[in-house]
Amino acid sequence: MNNIMNTADQQQRWSTDQKIAGALGMILTVIFAVAALWVSINLLSWAMDHKAQARAVPDTAEVTVAVRERQLDCLARNIYYESGGEPFEGKVAVAQVTLNRVKSSQFPDDICRVIYQKSPIMDKVVCQFSWTCSGVTKVKPANGREYEESMAVAKKVLLEGFRLPSLEQALYFHGDYINPGWKRTKVAHIGRHIFYK
């Protein structure tokens, strides 16, 4: 009789264990499905942004007035948001890094696409220039004088070819108040930014 009761208890425990294992399996399946969906949505969003930016610039060697104005506006905004309070050299440095990226095969071959480039890393999308993910891209620059200075630097660098010799190979920079732990070669420290190749 005891053997029959022990067998019945074991079968009941085994049945309960199976139900728990099944429930845990379902929960894990749902978690993985949600995670996969989230990653897919982020990658799709990045791909759509990238494709929209690629279509925004005509694929032609001939630069029209409209294209040049768009390039100048993108460059001026990048200078403004990345180095608006910096001295002249600091503004030139940000513009020069942007144009160095346009020439590099590691980045898009258009000024605006370089600036608004997003990269999927692990489970998130990272902006190459942080201000482009902050929402300010849709607002007019608040400080008119700094934006005018940024536009003047954009014209000097893009149209007149003004460059800082120490930044010929610079492709990256960050504020001197942070330490991202980069293993890149430092080429200059201008204003509040450190530049690397």
Mean pLDDT of 162-170: 96
Kindly state whether residue 109 falls inside one of the protein's structural domains: yes
Residue 170 in any domain: the answer is: yes
Per-position DSSP letters for 34-92, written without gaps between them: HHHHHHHHHHHHHHHHHHHHHHHS---SSPPHHHHHHHHHHHHHHHHHHHTTS-HHHHH
Inside any domain, residue 113: yes
Binned at pLDDT 50, 70 and 90, residue 196 comes out as very high
Domain count, the chain: 1
Full-model pTM: 0.66
| 27 part of a folded domain | no
Does the pLDDT at position 42 exceed 60? no
Name the range with the highest mean pLDDT among 17-31, 43-57, 101-115, 134-148.
101-115
- Residue at 51 is within a domain: no
Q: Rounded distance, CA 81 to CA 95, Å?
A: 11
Q: Are 151 and 77 in contact (CB under 8 A)?
A: no
Tokens read off for 183:
């293993």
d(CA 61, CA 84): 31
Residue 183 placed within a domain? yes
Residue 70 domain-assigned?
yes
Q: Is the pLDDT of residue 187 over 70?
A: yes
Structure tokens at 185: 């070669």
pLDDT of residue 61: 60
pLDDT the model gives residue 133 = 85
Sign of CA dihedral 191, 175, 106, 40: negative
Contact partners, residue 56, CB within 8 Å, separation at least 6:
112, 113
Q: Which domain holds residue 104?
A: 57-196
Asked if the model's pLDDT at residue 67 lies above 50, the reply is yes
How far is residue 99's CA from residue 173's CA, in Å, rounded to a whole number? 13
In this structure, the chain runs to a length of: 197
In a domain, 31, yes or no: no
Examine the pLDDT at 172 and tell me if it is beyond 80. Answer: yes
At 197, is the secondary structure helix, strand, or coil?
A: coil
HSE on the CB side for 148, CA within 13 Å? 3
The answer to whether the CB of 197 falls within 8 A of the CB of 170 is yes
